[in-house]
Amino acid sequence: MEYTKLGRTGLKVSRLVLGTMNFGPATEEKEAFKIMDAALDAGINFFDTANVYGKSPRQGWTEEIIGRWFAQGGNRREKVVLATKVYNAMGEENDGPNDERGLSAWKIRRHLQASLKRLQTDHVELYQMHHVDPSVTWDELWEVFSTFVYQGTVDYIGASNFAGWNLVQAQAAAKNRPFLGLVSEQHKYNLMCRLPELEVLPAAKELGIGVIAWSPLAGGLLGGNVQKQGEGSRRAKMKDRVGKEADQIQSFVDLAKELGDTPANVALAWILNNPALTGPILGPRTLEQLESSLRATEIKLTEDVLKQLDQIFPGPGGPAPQAYAW
């Protein structure tokens, strides 16, 4: 397994991130335990979750599964760089209007306490804002987040789904305190969604913020699943999502076949090839899916292959404003 520093911090994390969103709704607890054990054995030390995972009305279910896995001992908790998130409303914690979607010191404190209880731990390494809340001032946010850091219940603060200007705004406010501010941004990024190359990736690089890619397989479309489904299956529904991208996906699948690798692993390798990315989030539903994804770290894409991928999935043309001004 390859490791990298998380943004400008000294924290070393695996280039592959274990996403846990399927644990509970799609993956039973016993299988989830096997996946987490196998991830550790493979050298994956970066686990990502969120307080809302588990889906309504079982928000928090995923964190509970992870907590019970930690409770087995064997230094499981000590080996994991744990990341969770806050923003959405939580069914069982609904305290009226203050528990609605968004961020406030009142809500963040209560939701962190609840996450720690479900996770059966006294701290998390990375606490992330699941979305930006423009109605709340950065003075309020950095006050509550810095308190967590000083108390030792959180090591670092991260973001998710922020625009480039949100990152700049957050860091400017943190610098005035002074406070380290954001160390990571979790963003939708894959071969079919390259818009972040315009603003988010350049901003994050300039600010020393590590970028973690969610949906690296575009919800399964880059996994070659469209070509191998049967009528009535879960994968058959993907046909309705493909639309005009069908030719692109087929060209991509053909290229992966020429390379002798799966489309999914080529898509993951493409993200790993980008030095601006900390790594992609894997979302395995089964142990087999996790084990198959490990191959991605061994794939080295040549310049010729990277050019072919650019031809199949053209990006915005580079960072702004050069991409659209010249």
Both tokens of residue 153? 């219940």
3-state SS assignment for residue 247: helix
Contact 62, 24 (CB under 8 A): yes
Both tokens of residue 322? 């050069």
Both tokens of residue 89? 């409303």
Q: How many C-alpha atoms does 14 have within 13 Å on its Cβ side? A: 25
DSSP state of 23: B
DSSP state of 286: S
- Vertex 62 angle, CA 68 and 17, to 5°: 95
Q: What is the C-alpha to C-alpha distance for residues 296 and 269, in angstroms, rounded to an integer?
A: 5
Backbone angles phi, psi at 182, to 5 degrees: -75, 140
Catalytic residue status for 53: yes
3-state SS assignment for residue 129: strand
Q: What is the C-alpha to C-alpha distance for residues 183 and 12, in angstroms, rounded to an integer?
A: 12
Active-site residue (options: 3, 53, 127, 156) = 53
DSSP state of 193: B
Both tokens of residue 175? 């610098």
Contact 128, 96 (CB under 8 A): no
Q: What is the C-alpha to C-alpha distance for residues 219 and 225, in angstroms, rounded to an integer?
A: 10
Report the catalytic residues.
53
